[in-house]
């Protein structure tokens, strides 16, 4: 049965969104093409009609994940961002979470197309956080924003590396939330 161009585009978007969630949840090597297509409600036979390779889907799904992250920043202030990012809920639910924390280690071992999407996504986050801080009248130079991203991502990765029920996992989140907010307040004073 022939599929319309509009339906094919809709199917492709479903695959990209499903892949974005699954990759963040399980890593690039933790999900196969058959499972990706099934998660989108499609058969695996159509994969290569949609994508030239799994790596091409990985790059496109990274862009999708970063786009979702940037949209989640709309209407949020810096304190809410830090509180949400360094929360137990974000730590425990990887799929809809941060693309950098979920896939940064994997991306470092991938081809340049995927790394380029990560670079573009990080730039988009820097811009969105800069806009957020400017809207709050807070200092927002690029170095400060990059340090903020590195701190919260690092804290989330460290917390996820510990057993979920460990006191250390929670301690990392709490300590880093407090430290980041103290730094933010000190630079506003």
pLDDT bin (cut points 50, 70, 90) of residue 1 is low
Q: What domain range is 87 assigned to?
A: 58-188
Domain count, the chain: 1
- Please indicate, yes or no, if residue 40 is contained in any of the structural domains: no
| pLDDT score, position 140 | 81
Q: Is residue 135 domain-resident? A: yes
Q: Report CA dihedral (104, 106, 109, 115) to the nearest 10 degrees.
A: -50
Q: Is residue 74 part of a domain?
A: yes
Residue 155 lies in a domain: yes
> Domain with 63 in it: what CATH number?
1.10.357.10
Residue 111 lies in a domain: yes
pTM of the model: 0.91
CA distance 31 to 99: 16
Determine how many CB atoms are found less than 10 A away from the CB of residue 15.
Answer: 24
Lowest mean per-residue pLDDT among 1-15, 82-96, 136-150, 170-184: 1-15
Assigned domain for 148 exists = yes
Domain assignment present for residue 4? The answer is: no
Query: Is residue 109 domain-resident?
Result: yes
Locate tokens 């949020």: which residue?
76
């Amino acid at each position: 049965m022939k599929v319309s161009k509009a339906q094919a585009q809709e199917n492709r978007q479903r695959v990209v969104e499903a892949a974005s969630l699954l990759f963040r949840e399980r890593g690039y090597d933790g999900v196969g093409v058959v499972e990706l297509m099934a998660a989108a409600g499609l058969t695996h036979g159509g994969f290569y009609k949609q994508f030239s390779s799994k790596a091409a889907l990985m790059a496109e799904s990274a862009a999708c994940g970063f786009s979702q992250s940037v949209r989640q920043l709309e209407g949020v202030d810096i304190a809410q961002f830090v509180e949400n990012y360094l929360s137990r809920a974000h730590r425990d639910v990887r799929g809809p979470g941060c693309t950098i924390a979920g896939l940064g280690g994997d991306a470092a071992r991938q081809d340049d197309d995927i790394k380029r999407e990560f670079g573009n996504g990080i730039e988009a986050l820097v811009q969105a956080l800069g806009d957020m801080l400017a809207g709050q009248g807070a200092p927002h130079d690029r170095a400060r924003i990059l340090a903020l991203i590195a701190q919260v991502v690092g804290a989330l990765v460290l917390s996820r590396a510990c057993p979920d029920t460990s006191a250390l996992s929670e301690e990392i989140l709490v300590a880093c939330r407090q430290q980041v907010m103290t730094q933010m307040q000190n630079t506003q004073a």
